[in-house]
Every structure is written in structure tokens, then in C-alpha cells.
Structure 1
Amino acid sequence: MPEQIIYLVDDDEALRDSLIWLLESQGFKVKGYPSAEAFLPEIRPDMTGCLLLDVRMPGGMSGLELHDRLRASFCTLPVIFITGHGDVPMAVSALKKGAVDFIEKPFNDEALLRQVRQCLAQEEENRARRRQDAEVSRRLGQLTQREREVLDLIILGKLNKQIADVLGISIKTVEVHRARVMEKMGAQSLAELVQSVMAIEGVNRG
């Protein structure tokens, strides 16, 4: 599993140094940057961890602009904005664009650490879900056309007899295809099969 890194982008050197010390004292791996421009070369879609990002950095690219760049680069790194007095409306705007949270200066160390831990735990969970979805997609790609047709009808809640009638095949043949679908998809139960496929295809049958 890739190591999670806390990236810190803030033009205030004293604040940056104190935050790095605080986070490293808790066992986190931290990388600090004095500007959004300095951080840009680091951006990759597969980054893990989280980003602590100052909203307002005079003289260069703002935190909001960097956040937009991240999303444009398909980077899913969660972002916690650091805001000064009067920047809350900007932070709220960032939340609407997908930022995880924001903290106001001066902030409480314990509150910051709690937010970072929650952020990292959520990021790890999201990454595990993406890996699982990718595996389900890979397995779906291994199904034959007929197996996929059977699977689609299973997801619609059809019984073997109904599937046989729709596809014009025998119930025995449906049972064979159904068993192969379960095996190829690595599903232990019908519920697991349906849930895994619906999760990646965004099917809402509520």
C-alpha cells in the first residue's frame, strides 16, 4: 500500500515550519512548499495522503486556483484549506468544488490533527473502493456476451425461468451461465454480485 504523505502549501514560512514539526511529531510524513507554483510539479493522479492548502497566497497562484488545477489533472488528493480572517466565503466556495474541509487561523493543534486523521482515513477508504471497483470492471470485461446478458437480467431481479424465456435458452443453460458469472466475478452470493456491479455502474434502483 502506498505511503500517505501530507503535502503542505503555505507562503508563511513560520506557520509552515510549525505545522511540519507538529505533524511529524505525530508520525506523519510531511512535505512543505512555499507556493502553489512550487507544488505543481508534484501533481500526479495517483497521489496518496492529503493536501493542507492556504487559500490566499499573495503574489502568485491562489489556493483555489491550485485546487482547480488538481481536479483538472484528475488528482483525487483530498484538500483541507487553511484560511485567514475574512477568507471563509472563499473556503465555502472551495467546499462546493470538492474540498474536504477548511480550518481557520489561528487553529487548535488537536482540532487540526483530528481533521487530518479523518481525512487520511477517508482517503484510504476511497482508494480501497476505487481498487475494488477497478477489479470488478476488469472481471466484467472477461464475461462473454451471453454471460453479460444473463448478468444484466439477474440484476433486474429476474428468475432463471424468466431469464430463459427472455433469451430463448433452456433453464439448464441459464444455470450454467449463472454459475460461470458468479465464478468469474468472484462473488460468494447473489447479493454480493448485484451490489458490486451496481456500485460501479451507478445504478439506482431505490
Structure 2
Amino acid sequence: MSHAECVYEAPTGHAIAAPTGVVHLIEDDVSLRTALQRLLVSEGFVVATYATAGDYLLPAATKDPGCLLLDLHLPGCSGLELQEALHDHPDYEHPIVFLSGAADIATSVRAMRAGACEFLTKPVDSEVLLAAVRTAVGRDVAQRAWRAGQQQARAGLASLGRREKLVLQGITDGRRHKQLAAELGVSERTIKLDRARIMSRLGVRTLPALLRTVMIAQSGVPR
């Protein structure tokens, strides 16, 4: 299948509520690809299908959350090779559910260590497959929400003035207003005003929320 023949299908009718996200199905076996697509669409998923890893990387990356339902053995670039290549193409990254025609413990371990959500062996039970896809899509939705919150937190921290950053560091270190005032050569009232401005700029109202915001800004995206 060429890029021009890539199939993108959404569910029809109104009986099934569509999960949030797109399933990118990469499978070279036409009959299996069609069967999987029909199964996923019948459950309300939006599905984009590709015959090779290259077909997946040719069009512009989508902004929607989703997952990859990825065959391990593909013509040209294998599923594992695509998984590795995606680290250099973050716009195309989504949680991966692997499909393999044979149980291969070493390969499945390698895939899982590299961040795959699930490694399933064909023929796969439909309910097991659907559960894995739902989990993977849900993970992508959660990760994207985390990234959005992290960007907002980092922007808030970057907007702080020099003394405000020192005050925030002191707060996160557990120092009291009196200690900070003495260290910075200002009054306790000034420290309290700085703290109020910090919390306002970060959009928080409580100390736990403030500490969590700092933690989010400084951490990586959870897997």
C-alpha cells in the first residue's frame, strides 16, 4: 500500500461513543489489517491504517492523541526499528501496542523496556486487544495533559523575578518567612507579598498545589 492509499476511517452512526484518540494501525497483512480496522471502528475508535512503517511517517503527524497498533514484522523497517526511530521524530510518538505472529520473550522484553504498552501474540483475543488499545490511548491522553500542565508551570516559573525565584526556592526547601526575610534582607511582609505574587502567577492557592506545580515543571513526562 502506498501513502496515497492510506485508509483513515471514523465510526459511523451514533450508537457507540468514540474514545478520544486515533488508532494508527500498521500491519502489512491486508486481510488482518481490514479485520482489525473493522473491529476497532465497531468499538468507536477512529482508525488510520498503513501497510509499512514508512507509510506512517510520510504524512504530517497528527495533533490528536492516540496509539500505534504495530506489527512486529513489517517489510522494510520493522516494528522495533520504527519504535526506536520515533525517538528522533517525537511528533509521531504515541504509546505502542505490538502485534507479533510468534511468542518471542526476548523481543517482547526489548519492546517493553523501550516503552511499549503491550506486546500481544497473534491470533489475539478481541477483548484483550481492545483493552490494550484503550489503555494505550488513555496513556497518551494523560501524557499530553501532563505536558500541557508542565508547559504552563514552566512558563509561570519563567515569569518570576529574581527575588521571587529565591523566595520560591526557600519555600520549597521548607524555610520560614522569617528565615527568608533575614537571608534576603527584606521584611517578612515583603516575603509574604512575594509569595502571594508567586502563587498568583502559578495559578495556585495552597502550599501543596504550589509544591506540586514546581514538581511538575521540573519532572519528565510519566510513562
Q: TM-score, normalised by structure 2?
A: 0.85
Structure showing greater relative contact order (alpha-carbon pairs closer than 8 Å, 6 or more residues apart): 2
Q: 1:87 — aligned with what? A: 104
Separation of aligned partners in 2, 1:42 and 1:69 = 16
Separation of aligned partners in 2, 1:74 and 1:46 = 11
Is the 8 Å Cα contact of residues 43 and 70 (structure 1) preserved in structure 2?
Answer: no
Matches within 5 A, 1:166-181: 166-181=183-198
Q: What secondary structure is seen at the aligned counterpart in 2 of 1:64?
A: helix
Distance 1:86 1:113, change over 3 A: closer
Counterpart AA for 1:131: A
Find the partner of 1:67 among 67, 83, 107.
Answer: 83
Q: What secondary structure is seen at the aligned counterpart in 2 of 1:69?
A: helix
Q: 1:165 — aligned with what? A: 182
Counterpart AA for 1:107: V
Q: What secondary structure is seen at the aligned counterpart in 2 of 1:53?
A: strand
Residue 99 of structure 1 deviates from its aligned partner by 1.2
Separation of aligned partners in 2, 1:91 and 1:200 = 33
Q: 2:217 — aligned with what? A: 200
Matches within 5 A, 1:27-176: 27-42=44-59, 44=61, 46=63, 48-57=65-74, 59-75=75-91, 76-176=93-193
Find the partner of 1:188 among 194, 205, 210.
Answer: 205
Is the 8 Å Cα contact of residues 26 and 52 (structure 2) preserved in structure 1?
Answer: yes
Structure 1 unaligned segments of length 5 or more: list them: none
Is the 8 Å Cα contact of residues 8 and 33 (structure 1) preserved in structure 2?
Answer: yes
Is the 8 Å Cα contact of residues 67 and 136 (structure 2) preserved in structure 1?
Answer: yes
RMSD: 1.7
Q: What secondary structure is seen at the aligned counterpart in 1 of 2:67?
A: strand
Residue 202 of structure 1 deviates from its aligned partner by 3.3
Counterpart AA for 1:19: L
- Percentage of identical aligned residues: 35
Find the partner of 1:23 among 23, 35, 40.
Answer: 40
Separation of aligned partners in 2, 1:6 and 1:47 = 10
Separation of aligned partners in 1, 2:212 and 2:25 = 38
Residue 82 of structure 1 deviates from its aligned partner by 0.4
Deviations 1:17-44 (A, max 9, x none): 0000000001100011111111111463
Q: How many residues align?
A: 200
Counterpart AA for 2:84: D
Deviations 1:89-121 (A, max 9, x none): 212201111111111101000110011111111
Residue 64 of structure 1 deviates from its aligned partner by 0.7
Separation of aligned partners in 2, 1:61 and 1:88 = 21
Counterpart AA for 1:53: L
Q: What secondary structure is seen at the aligned counterpart in 2 of 1:158?
A: coil
Residue 131 of structure 1 deviates from its aligned partner by 0.6
Separation of aligned partners in 1, 2:156 and 2:118 = 36
Structure 2 unaligned segments of length 5 or more: list them: 1-19
